[in-house]
Chains A and B, each alone.
Chain A
Amino acid sequence: MKALLLSLMLLLPFSAQAAIDAYEFSDEQKEARFQQLTGELRCPKCQNQNIADSDAPLASDLRREVHRMLEEGESDEGIIDFMVTRYGDFVLYRPRVNETTWLLWYGPFVLLGIGVLVVVLISRNRRQSTPTGPKASSEVGGQYQASEGLTTEEAERLNKLLQRDSDQ
């Protein structure tokens, strides 16, 4: 009895597999293209699923159509056109590049460019403002004096150095 049950259980995986529509392909390349296409086409009924994943009857119809067209020797482009003329651009998980999708495709690069520009501008501003730092300390009659930025010793050294420069 146990053995019978066990052998029946072993059959389970096969019956489960039969529920998934089994398509036969004339060559392996077509099967790979089928996987690729059904993975990229979006199911219009059950949104946010591709037609490969969806259990909706409509998705199964669309898989059948994809299979039929592949076997008829249709190109990927032709199959995608077929879907778009019926269900619109909505079915494409990878939208085509055209005027309406330029923002979508190139927008991130534009944003990246703006980001880089801002970083460059900010760092340049910083670099310009660093050398002007000592100016923040008080300067009286061409002589630097001790302040928040400079200690007394530093002020004296700075004055000496400047003196030496102007002597030359």
Chain B
Amino acid sequence: MNNRKLFAFIPLVIFIVLGIFLWRGLSIDPTELPSALADNKRPVPAFELPSLTEPSVMLSNADLKGEVALLNVWATWCPTCKEEHGFLNRLAQDEGVTIYGINYKDEPAKAREWLRRYLNPYKKVILDEKGTLGLDMGVYGAPETYVLDADGVVRYRHVGAVDASVWKTLQQVMAQVEQEAVK
């Protein structure tokens, strides 16, 4: 009899377990993928690409080192990039944040025109015309913004536009990375 009473609770237990999983599923955004780079704290993959602003200058990993910075993947064909551009300008000018750019699968002439027209928040812009660096970084949609530490290691990735609420998160990550470096 005791056994049978226990059996009666099995459906309830199953219901609760299923409920927990389904409830958790509600708060998961399926379009947000884990970043293989940020999760494993890997450095930005090795690259050797020209600068968008000075095509004769070649940029490499060494150019991204030295300070905690943001690395922003953008293109002129990407409407959300235009949306966030003003905010990036403000970050660079008012907050003094170092932002590097990757111009991803774009036409260089158009991209240069874009920076002339909407101002340039980037310290350096890597010209990734074929998307090879993007592929190596696991970029799956522009815009994407990465937090890099002083050694050029990827610490965080955000997919989508950077706005005030996203910046709060990025700021926290950057502060934490800086603190770790001091220790």
Using CB atoms and an 8 Å cutoff, list the residues of chain A in contact with chain B: 44-45, 47, 57-58, 61-62, 65, 84-88, 90
Contacts and interface: CB of A to CB of B under 8 A. Distances in A.
Given A44-B138, A44-B140, A58-B140, A87 B131 contact: no
Given A44-B140, A45-B140, A45-B141, A87 B105 contact: no
B33 A88 contact: yes
A87 B31 contact: no
Nearest to B77: A57
A92 B152 CA distance: 28
A103 B105 CA distance: 40
Main secondary structure of the interface of B (DSSP, over half): loop
A90 B39 CA distance: 13
5 contacts: A44-B33, A58-B141, A86-B135, A87-B33, A88-B34
B31 A47 contact: yes
Contacts of B137: 86
Nearest to B130: A61
Given A85-B36, A90-B34, 9 more contacts: A44-B138, A61-B135, A62-B135, A65-B135, A86-B135, A86-B137, A86-B138, A87-B36, A88-B33
A84 B140 CA distance: 13
Contact of B36 (A58, A61, A65, A86): A86
B35 interface: yes
Contacts of A90: 33-34
A87 B139 CA distance: 8
B138 A88 contact: yes
Interface string B65-105: 00000000000000000000000000000000000000001
A62 B134 CA distance: 12
Contacts of A65: 135
Q: Which residue among B31, B39, B105, B135 has the maximum number of chain A CB atoms within 10 Å of its CB?
A: B135
B43 to A, nearest CB: 13
B36 A47 contact: no
